[in-house]
Amino acid sequence: MKFPAPVPLTEIAALICARLIGNSEANASGINEIHKVEEGDLVFVDHPKYYEACLSSAASFIIINKEMEIPKGKALLVVDQPFEAYLDIIRRFRPFVPAEGMQSASAQVGEGTYIAPGAFIGHHVTIGKHCRILPHVTIMDHCVIGDHVIIQSGAVIGSDAFYYNTKKDRDIWYRKMDSCGRVVIEDHVEIGASCTIDRGVTNDTVIGAGSKLDNMVHIGHDTVLGKNCLIAAQVGIAGAVDIEDNVILWGQVGVNKTIRIRKGAVVMGQSGVVGTLEGDKVYWGTPAEDFNGKRRERVWIKRIPEIWEKVRKL
C-alpha cells in the first residue's frame, strides 16, 4: 500500500511508539510485505527466521522487535510487537469506513458504464468506460476496474485476503492481517457469476487485459494473472501466484500458493498444480505433469493386472 503522500519516519515512529534507529530524516512512501517491497517502503518482521531477509530486502525501513546492525541508508523501528504496529499503521492510513449506500459518493464511474440495481460499489472505487456491472456484484473499497469489463451477477471483487499472523504461544493462534491492497482488473476482462477475487494484503491482485473467468472461480490475494488467460469454472488459485500471459486452466484446477505458471501453459481439468510449470506445454494430474507422459503412465497402470498375471505364471 502506498500512502497518499510520503510520511516522515518520525511520524510513523510516534504512531507505533517505536524507537527509531538509523536514517531518521527519511520519509516512508508505503508499507508492504517482504515479497512486494520497494525502496521507500516499510516492512515488519517479528521472527528471527526472517530478520536477514527483511534487512537485505528492497525495504528502506524495518519494523522489528530486536535491535540489529542497520544496512546503510536504512532505519529500524524497534517495538515489542511488530505485528500490532503493522495493524496500527494500516488502520491509520486505510481505515475501515462503513458504507452509507449501495454506491459510494467517492466512486468514479466512466462514460457508458451500466451498473445494475443491487450492485454494491465501495469507497474510492474506479470503474472505466463501457463496463457492465450486473445485479448483486460487490466491488469493495479502492478497487480499480478498467474499460469494457463485464462482471456477472454475484461476483465479489476485493474481499479480504485469507492471510493470518500465526503464533502458537497465545490463546488465539491466527490473528487477521488487515488487508489494505487492491484488486486491479484491466481492460476487456470478463468475470463470471459468483467469482471471488481477494484484494492484496498490502499490494495488488491483478487480472490482466483480455482474460476471461468462468463462474465460481476463486483468486487469492496478491495473485497476478496475465493477459488473455482463460480460467474455467471452479478453479481455485491460492495467494501470491504469478500466472503469465495466455495460460489456460480448465475446470476445477487447484493452484498452490507462491508459484509461477509460465506463458502459454495449459492445465487440464481437475489437476493440482503444486510447483512452477514451464510455458507452452500441456499438463494433467496431481501433481500436474506433462500431459503425454501422464497419459502413457495411465496406460501402463491399466496393464499392471495383465503383467502381474504373466509374472505369477512364470
pLDDT tens, residue by residue, 143-192: 999 999 999 999 999 999 999 988 888 899 999 999 999 999 999 999 99
Note the pTM of the prediction, 2 decimals: 0.92
Q: Is the pLDDT of residue 195 over 90?
A: yes
Cβ atoms 156, 119 nearer than 8 A:
no
Q: What share of the chain is helix, strand, coil (3-state, %, to 5)?
A: 15, 30, 55
- pLDDT at residue 34 in the model: 85
Q: What are the sequence ranges of the domains in the chain?
A: 2-93, 108-253
Hey, what's the torsion of the CAs at 293, 213, 225, 83, to 10 degrees? Answer: -110
- pLDDT tens across 240-297, in order? 999 999 999 999 999 999 999 999 999 999 999 999 999 999 999 999 999 998 888 8
Catalytic residue set: 221
CA distance linking residue 183 with residue 160, whole number of Å = 10
Select the CATH number that applies to the domain covering 2-93 from these four: 3.40.1390.10, 3.40.50.2000, 2.60.40.10, 3.40.50.460: 3.40.1390.10
114 versus 310: the higher-pLDDT residue is: 114
The cell numbers describing 307, all together, are: 503383467
Cite the beta strand spans of 204-314 per DSSP E. Answer: 204-207, 212-213, 218-219, 224-225, 230-231, 236-237, 242-243, 248-249, 254-255, 260-261, 266-267, 272-273, 282-284, 289-290
Spatial neighbors of 156 by CB under 8 A, at least 6 apart, are: 137, 138, 140, 195, 196, 197
Strand arrangement of the beta sheet that strand 190-191 belongs to = 114-115, 132-133, 150-151, 190-191, 212-213, 230-231, 248-249, 266-267, 282-284, 289-290
Q: Tell me if domain 2-93 and domain 108-253 are identical in fold.
A: no
Select the CATH number that applies to the domain covering 108-253 from these four: 1.10.10.10, 2.160.10.10, 3.30.365.10, 2.60.40.10: 2.160.10.10
Average pLDDT, the chain: 95
